[in-house]
Amino acid sequence: MRYAFHDQLDGVFTDLAAICRRVEEAVRLATEALLTGTADVAERVISGDVEIDQARERVEDTAFSLLSLQAPVAGDLRVVVAALRMVSELERMGDLSVHVAKIARLRTPNIAVPEQARPIIARMAEVAEDMVSRTAAIIAERDVDQAAELRRDDEEMDGLRRASFAELLGDDWTAGVEAAVDVALLGRYYERIADHAVSVAGRVVFVVTGETMAS
């Protein structure tokens, strides 16, 4: 019984890592759509989100059947609940990629991000995508050390967010109100993707060590 439980639990984490890789792809494509103004790439992200939602449902069903049929004890129970929370956050990261893609789509064939904000937004996107990529590896390999490193990347993201505000509120901003609003919201979306990545990785730490990462 216990062996079967842990096998199934491993299966759940394999699925979570796979969903995280889908999210990584969604972030990558949404950014591509955003920085090139390509409508059909944006559409792929938007229409592809349903697959992430379905994958979430499958993980939830497995987790519930694990809880029901195996009635895990305290520690294992918390691991299953952690998995349920991770999959909710991964789904949310997919939704945030859709928000990025929708801003891209709204402005095509133009590029939503004006030239003067492009380096910062491109870097935010890169950091976010990299964090999601590493989160997938952290889930797959239960890599506690990497999870701690992810925190540092999140600090870079916070710095980029501040820099983006300095840019769009500075005297040199000539791109107007609409572009400023787009950049502010995009910054918010990438920042939230990064926040969720840190949170998901933190749950892996909890799963492995039983301890909550200090926030």
Instruction: Write out the residues near a copy of itself by the rule CB under 8 A.
Output: 64, 67-68, 71, 73-74, 77-78, 81, 84-85, 88, 165, 168-169, 173, 176-178, 180-181, 184-185, 188
Residue 103 CB, nearest distance to a copy of itself (Å)?
11
Are 121 and 157 a contacting pair, CB within 8 Å?
A: no
Distance between CA atoms of 150 and 94, rounded to whole angstroms?
19
Nearer to a copy of itself, 149 or 162 (CB): 162
Tokens of 150: 């992810």
Residue 125 CB, nearest distance to a copy of itself (Å)?
19
Residue 78 CB, nearest distance to a copy of itself (Å)?
7
Nearer to a copy of itself, 40 or 172 (CB): 172
Q: Which of 192, 133, 120, 122 is nearest to 159 (CA)?
A: 120
Nearer to a copy of itself, 32 or 49 (CB): 49
Instruction: Please give the angle made by the CA atoms of 116, 121 and 126, to the nearest 5 degrees.
Output: 140
Q: Which run of H or E residues covers position 175?
A: none
Residue 120 CB, nearest distance to a copy of itself (Å)?
14
Distance between CA atoms of 157 and 192, rounded to whole angstroms?
10
Nearer to a copy of itself, 41 or 157 (CB): 157
Query: Which residue is listed with tokens 């989100």?
Result: 49
